[in-house]
Structure 1
Amino acid sequence: MNIEFISATLSSPRSKGGVNKVKVRPLMKKGTLFFQLESFQNNQAFHRNLEPEEAYREIAGLMEEFRQMQMETRKNRYTVLVSKKGKVTIKKKAQDGCIKDVDMSHNRKKRYLLEEGMQIPFLQDLGVMTKKGQIVHSRFDKFRQINRFLEFIEDILPELPTDREITILDFGCGKSYLTFAMYYYLHEINQYDVRIVGLDLKSDVIRRCNELSIKYGYEKLRFLEGNIADYTGADRVDMVVTLHACDTATDFALAKAVGWGAKVILSVPCCQHELNGQIQSDVLAPLMKYGLIKERFAALATDALRAEYLEREGYNAQILEFIDMEHTPKNILIRAVKTDGKKENASVISACEEALHVEPMIGKLLNQKG
């Protein structure tokens, strides 16, 4: 039997509280072709194996509930976007000049958006992948982190415009593993017209990243040396990414994003020291006397208040697990998508801050903006 279909992922549901993602793949059991639908809800996965006709009807119905589908065949990749008015946009990209095999075994290894065996120059130059496309064993955690980040990008694709150039700013880009991955995934694989600017304080790192960008012919990927708080090089930004910006640098990046009216914010905070030096609470005294507990509590409170402030500014904010805790304790990602209305939560934020005797930088910056 000849089958071209490899996999599909339906994501970005139109309503909250239900299934948030569905993955589809072919499955051969006892000589019979099925399609396995893996549905994700509340951190649980549910599997159903359907015959082809039944699977076709089920997927057609699901397309009314989700705003996008990523589909992969042996020869091509497709991005299907469905607007609020039901307009369907389909983008097609060849499989990097190769024809892939279809794995229909019942148990198979996890599939990644960037897979082992693909020839990806930036992963090779950054030491994650060999020239033969194999993942360097000692860098497999970095490979997983890159793919996990791209899954977050995949989820927010329907929020990005398709009729003009998309501008993305990456604050604190460092060696830019994820910046290069973002450009490769959006522009090279999905053919988005995207311009990405990476910003960092280390001049040698910025120089090296620009050299690589020119080497790959990534015309709209550039890196600049500078401070997050002082950056003024853009008037309109569609997405702001800030990964491991230390302490209040994350707050300056979030405030910049809000000021631009960025449609999407992806932030992985780091080193949240600010509230740790401010928190005072008689009620929580039994917790606060333990330094490690106080440090972790302060970090969680910082990120929770950041998310609440973003909600106040008209964003739908989520706090998600970036990668497994076993790989790094800095595993929280704040994902915020701009909505049509603001949340009336100012009094709740104030009550929380008064109870903890804290004044977070994100509040100062956003209140000053207002």
Structure 2
Amino acid sequence: MYPVDSLRNLIHDIFEQNSLITATWSQLRRRDNVSFTKVQVKPVSIKNQLHYQFAFHHSNKVLHENLTPDEAEERMIQLCEETFRQGMLCTVEADYQILISKKYKVSILTKSPSKTAANLSHNRKKQYVLEEGIPVSFLVELGIMNEEGRVLARKYDKFRQINRFLEMVQDVIQHLPEGRPLTIVDFGCGKSYLTFALYHYLSIQQRRSLRIIGLDLKADVIEHCNDLAKRLHYGDLKFLVGDIADYDELQEVDMVVTLHACDTATDAALEKAVRWGASVILSVPCCQHELFNQIEAPVMEPLLSHGILKERFSALATDAIRAKLLDLLGYKTQLLEFIDMEHTPKNILIRAVRGQAGQTEALWSEYTAFRDFIHADPYLERACADLLPGDGGNKPEKITEDAESGKRKPEAGSCDHC
């Protein structure tokens, strides 16, 4: 016999390892406190996200409830502690028969596994760039996979995000130069999940010679990333402490990545990429405050008079301006959904590859008409004025901290809240 804590730990481990195939709870502790008599649980995929479906069996109907892994673990513990006296948990590793006495003493009988994991949804299984079930060293080190290649339940969203990012890289890999080592810079790399993923994909899977430099302001984060790169033997992956505006150690870069660099730090990174002649730019902007205080358009007052709507419109307008300016600067630009809207509103990725996007005169006319309509004065236009047609204004002086103006120097660090 075991204390009830043993059962809680078992359930926690099953959800942590994402190993549950099916569970059944029966034998009510009291028949007068619930209207259902049995609950069955199984993992399902909903919009490519892992959930657990609870089927509550009543006398004349079955009601279903789909829960996230954290919610499912909590509900499972509640059912065994308050409602049922018997359970059968079938996992990839083993079957566990659970018996709970009136005094909450637990008996756990372990048997060989009787079931195999099934397809989680009616849809075809998604084929990821990094496949589940195949151990990937950096994912194991970062706590996303276990050593057998199983993705931990609480890290499944991160696993999907990494694969989504690599899919976007996969689509533009043909635009990167051939026949020589690649140089890639990641501005505001943060904890560098995607930096390690990019290195693994290009160096190990695609067998490309390359060097990747990650830049961030947080010295402790950079130290951790360098230690991890050393443990993984990623010899051509280096991390440096520094900000975007001051970084000038390279003359030519093939790919620039900037994820959640704050406000105009994104624009500073885009300017660097353009002046380096980068073949590919991948940018997820963040905290677009610049246009919020600039936008004026009386005809749009029903929208702009509401702060939350003005903030969202300002962010969308900022990214639209960036995309059009990149088109004018010699790129073909797409705005793509990076991760699902339910996770974060900051989910737009700007993907640009070198190549003529259209007639420069027409693009400039479209851009200036929109810019002037909302009375915008974008940092990126001023920064790249010498590269743009027409009079884009004077290039701004380097932005520094100013107590009176409140302006901030563009920084490579990503937001803590992103």
> How high is the TM-score relative to the length of structure 2?
0.62
**Alignment of 1:205 onto 2:221:** yes
Output the amino acid matched with 1:202: K
Hey, what does 1:313 align to over in structure 2? 329
> In 2 relative to 1, CA 129–279 (structure 1 residues): closer, same or farther, beyond 3 Å?
same
Deviation, structure 1 residue 289: 0.7
Q: Which runs of 4+ in 1 moved over 4 A?
A: none
Partner residue in 2 for 1:332: 348
State the partner residue of 2:385: 367
Which deviates the most, 180-189 or 335-344?
335-344
Match of 2:319 in 1: 303
Name the residue aligned to 2:154: 138
Aligned to 2:41: none
Distance 1:230 1:359 in 2: 23
1:290 aligns with 2:279: no
Instruction: Tell whether 2:265 aligns with 1:249.
Output: yes
Identical positions, percent:
57
Number of paired residues? 267
Partner of 1:215: 231
3-state SS in 1 of match to 2:154:
helix
1:278 CA displacement: 1.0
In structure 2, the CA distance between the partners of 1:291 and 1:340, relative to structure 1 (3 Å rule), is closer
Q: Aligned partner of 2:385: which letter?
A: N
Contact 1:166 1:238 in 2 (8 A): yes
Matches within 5 A, 1:1-370: 108-340=124-356, 343-344=360-361, 345-368=363-386
Letter in 1 for 2:312: R
CA distance in 2, matches of 1:341, 1:327: 32
User: Which ranges of structure 2 fall in alignment gaps of 5 or more residues?
Assistant: 1-118, 389-418
Tell me the equivalent position of 1:30. Answer: none
Larger radius of gyration: 2
Q: Distance in 2 between matches of 1:340 and 1:147?
A: 29
CA 107–273 in structure 1, closer or farther in 2 if over 3 Å, else same:
closer
Deviation at 1:189, TM superposition (A): 0.7
Q: CA deviation digits over 1:247-298, x for unaligned, max 9? A: 1000000000000111110111011111011111111111101111100000
Q: How big is the shift at 1:350?
A: 1.9
> How far 1:124 moved relative to its partner?
1.5
**CA shift for structure 1 position 346:** 2.1
Q: Using the alignment, how far apart are the partners of 1:229 and 1:159 within structure 2?
A: 26
Contact 1:141 1:327 in 2 (8 A): no
The whole-number CA distance in structure 1 between the counterparts of 2:128 and 2:365 is: 43
Letter in 1 for 2:261: A
Alpha-carbon deviation of 1:235?
A: 0.7
Whole-angstrom CA distance in 1 between matches of 2:164 and 2:348: 12
CA RMSD of aligned residues (A): 1.7
CA distance in 2, matches of 1:106, 1:297: 37
**Higher strand proportion (structure 1 or 2):** 1
Counterpart-to-counterpart distance in 1, 2:353 and 2:206? 21
Greater RCO (Cα-Cα under 8 Å, separation 6 or more): 2
Shift of residue 106, structure 1, vs aligned partner: 9.2
CA distance in 2, matches of 1:301, 1:332: 12
SS in 2 for 1:209: helix
1:341/1:325 CA distance change after superposition, 3 Å: closer
Contact persistence 1:174–1:205 (CA under 8 A): yes
